[in-house]
A and B are shown apart, each in its own frame.
Chain A
């Protein structure tokens, strides 16, 4: 005799069991679909983020470039203006030089007192001039540093232009100073030229102008130092050492001693 109720119950169980693999497959498929969808979406968002990030980066770089343009433009113009202004400042020094030149012309070996006092005055003036010149150099260095801090890509372009400007400016300055030097043979001017050439890496010229300065006035410490430094740069280390030693013997200059040590130790190459 059949127990239909029991059979029906067993059949229901059997059907549920038989559907389990399909249900599992369906669930797995759903999971895979959802997961793949999520992965796809995340990838999309990543790519969109990347794109937006790139856009932002681009914008920021553009902005940076703009800022750099402004910054670079500003300091350069400012420095040019400063230099020009300082030229204005320098111009009185030229008057001073004129004034200095006239006593030099009047200078006689017998009038030692006046000579000494005037020498002191000249030295003072020269110091002031040197300070002005070094200030200019510092300003130029500051410009350089600012440029170096900027974006590399833009730097390459901007730096070149700024350097050109500087170089051009330096060349103009040097030419201008040389002209003036030729007029009055002022050792301060030749020293300035020597320093400038040394900064620009033209060691031959810096050597020559340091030598000229030294010939005009062999008591200018800076001319000795530039002279020696130029010699080292021109691979004439021994000559530089000899020169410095000779100068130290006569002047006992601490700066010269420091430079001599640096050259001998190899710190200064």
Chain B
């Protein structure tokens, strides 16, 4: 086994949102299908929420990729906190209208109201990290969705603030909320192995036994981001040992010691 394989395996777990890396798990697939159904329904807003690292961003990216094939769909990964800039960006994306000066909400809503829907599907705007938007901007987003000329899919962390947002802005609206959760042990094993197999890391994928996955699940609580971080560090350690002290590592199955060392390094274990 070459050290480059461990390096390749390490890079698989780089914490980047790439739809190519999206792993289809049974539960995630069913959630994804229900989300697609919800978008087809005449719902004004859809709320996607869950703890950090549960795959909201990935989910949103995947959704964006799918929707873009049939309709206008725009993904805002990072929030645009300036209101004028936010409206100008949406105007540019939806209607190809560029504004050099300021664009306030009154001007923008007039534009939206006067525009007809292009095609059979309502355009969809996907907002990630929506908990960072101000309350007034969230209120304006709600008013925009009321025009039924644009649909919003909002992804946010499940915090106290998001509950407030849900209460204040979406309580009276027709909307659907979908919660994303951490993976189970079996899901995590499939996630890890699928990820590695996708990158042709067959040897390392076969090194993961249910026991080692259980330990990883214990440390990460099934959180995808934490798992990615942990496995990235673990394969980094494997790479180090392969280069410096190959006798110290077991290449048949994942060493619990190395998993724990990675957990110490990433802060999952307080040692």
Interface residues of A (CB under 8 A from B): 2, 4, 7-8, 10-11, 13-15, 17
Contacts and interface: CB of A to CB of B under 8 A. Distances in A.
Nearest to B260: A11
B202 interface: no
B215 to A, nearest CB: 12
B264 A14 contact: yes
17 contacts: A2-B233, A2-B236, A2-B237, A2-B240, A2-B265, A4-B237, A4-B241, A4-B244, A7-B264, A10-B271, A11-B260, A11-B261, A11-B271, A14-B260, A14-B264, A14-B271, A17-B271
Contacts of A7: 237, 261, 264-265
Interface residues of B, number: 13
A176 to B, nearest CB: 108
Contacts of B241: 4
A4 B249 CA distance: 13
Interface of B: 233, 236-237, 240-241, 244, 257, 260-261, 264-265, 269, 271
Contact of A10 (B237, B240, B244, B264): B264
Contact of A11 (B233, B236, B244, B264): B264
Nearest to A17: B271
A2 B264 CA distance: 11
B257 to A, nearest CB: 7
B137 to A, nearest CB: 42
A11 B259 CA distance: 10
List of 4 A-B pairs having minimum Cβ-Cβ separation, nearest first: A14-B271, A10-B271, A7-B261, A11-B261
A240 to B, nearest CB: 105
B40 to A, nearest CB: 48
B10 to A, nearest CB: 11
A14 B271 CA distance: 5
Given A11-B257, A11-B264, A14-B260, A4 B271 contact: no
Contacts of A14: 260, 264, 269, 271
B236 A13 contact: no
Contacts of B237: 2, 4, 7
A10 B236 CA distance: 17
A14 B237 CA distance: 17
A8 B261 contact: yes
Contacts of B261: 7-8, 10-11
A8 B269 CA distance: 13
A4 B261 CA distance: 9
Given A10-B264, A11-B261, A14-B260, 5 more contacts: A2-B233, A13-B271, A14-B269, A14-B271, A15-B260
Contacts of B233: 2
B158 to A, nearest CB: 31
Nearest to B236: A2
A38 B213 CA distance: 45
Contacts of B265: 2, 7
A4 B260 contact: no
B128 to A, nearest CB: 31
A8 B240 CA distance: 13
A13 B264 CA distance: 11
B247 to A, nearest CB: 14
A8 to B, nearest CB: 7
A4 B264 contact: no
Nearest to A12: B271
Nearest to B264: A10
Nearest to A16: B271
Nearest to B244: A4
Contacts of B271: 10-11, 13-14, 17
A17 B244 CA distance: 28
A90 B101 CA distance: 159
